[in-house]
Amino acid sequence: MLKRAHAFYEGRVQGVGFRFTVAGAARPYNVTGFVRNLRDGRVELVAEGEEKEARAFLGDVSASMAGYIRSEDVSWHDHVGEFDDFSVRFV
């Protein structure tokens, strides 16, 4: 089943290569979407794909950046299909 994950990460998540680590972590997974810094200091991540694939991807993000993440908030939605790839966005 195709799903959309919308996640927000708080902690020391800006200025530590978080977005580029996330983009690298997305490569082996069949997910599309984006990651970007927010002005309030959080990082936003949107990923679409098979739910199992998206959950595994988010698990890798959490594991690889655990030392920087203080909290994460993930919500699940219906797949929209608006992305062609996974990218880093710049505000």
- Pick the closest to residue 79 from 39, 56, 44, 46 (CA basis): 46
- Between strands 69-78 and 32-37, the pairing is unpaired
Catalytic site positions: 19, 37
